[in-house]
Amino acid sequence: MNPLASLAPSIKDLASAQRSSFATTQAVWRFLNNDKISFSQLNQPIEQLACEQINSSQHRYALIVHDWSQLQYV
């Protein structure tokens, strides 16, 4: 199960092109903070996966936990 399957290739490409962990962090931060894409668009693969998993489950209830932590890179 990979909630960011549609974003993973782009993030991996960004990460592999960088020479340091800080550069990788900066590249991913810029990718995720792109004004051309909204937060809800970035979140869509996670929501879609959660819905698919709930629909395929035999359980009556599901607990879906999202981490919306805001990271500050100073």
**DSSP codes joined into one string, 11-41:** HHHHHHT-SSHHHHHHHHHHHHT-TTS-HHH
Q: Under a CB-based contact definition with an 8 Å cutoff, are residues 46 and 32 in contact?
A: no
pLDDT class for 72, splitting at 50, 70, 90? confident
User: What residues contact residue 62 under an 8 Å CB cut-off, 6+ apart?
Assistant: 50, 53, 54
Which helix (H) or strand (E) segment holds residue 58: the answer is: none
Is the pTM of the predicted complex or chain greater than 0.75? Answer: no
Give the start-to-end residue ranges of the domains of the chain.
1-74
Model pLDDT for residues 5-64, shown as the tens digit of each residue: 565 666 666 666 667 788 878 887 888 788 888 878 878 888 888 889 899 999 988 888
**Residue 14 has what pLDDT?**
62
